[in-house]
Amino acid sequence: MTRVMHENDTNFTGKVVWITGASSGIGEALAVLLAGKKAKLILTARREAALMALSDRLDTAVKVLAADLYAADFQALTTAALAAFGGIDMVIHAAGIGQRSLAAETPLKVYRQLMEINFFAPVAITGCLLPVCKAHMVVIGSMSGLMGFPGRTGYAASKHALKGYFETLQVEQDVPVTIVSPGRVQTNLSLSAITASGEAHGVMDEAQAKGIPAMECALRILKGVAQKKKHVIIARKEKYLYWLHWWWPSMYYKIAKKYSFASGK
| 151: helix, strand or coil | coil
List all residues 6 or more positions away from 250 whose beta carbon is below 8 Å from its beta carbon.
none
Taking each helix axis from N to C end, the angle separating 153-172 and 121-129, rounded to the nearest 10 degrees, works out to 20
The three-point CA angle 110-111-113 to 5° equals: 65
Active site residue 252: no
Write down the catalytic residue from 155, 165, 242, 252.
155
- The candidate with the shortest Cα–Cα distance to 37, out of 240, 249, 221, 238, is 221
Q: How far is residue 264's CA from residue 1's CA, in Å, rounded to a whole number?
A: 46
- Is 190 exposed, middle or buried (CB count within 10 Å of its CB: 0-12, 13-18, 19+)? buried
List all residues 6 or more positions away from 22 whose beta carbon is below 8 Å from its beta carbon.
28, 30, 31, 41, 43, 44, 45, 51, 54, 94
* Residue 225 CA: distances (Å) to CA of 90, 131, 140, 264: 10, 22, 12, 31
Q: How far is residue 210's CA from residue 206's CA, in Å, rounded to a whole number?
A: 6
List all residues 6 or more positions away from 25 whose beta carbon is below 8 Å from its beta carbon.
94, 185, 187, 188, 189, 214
- Active-site residue set: 155
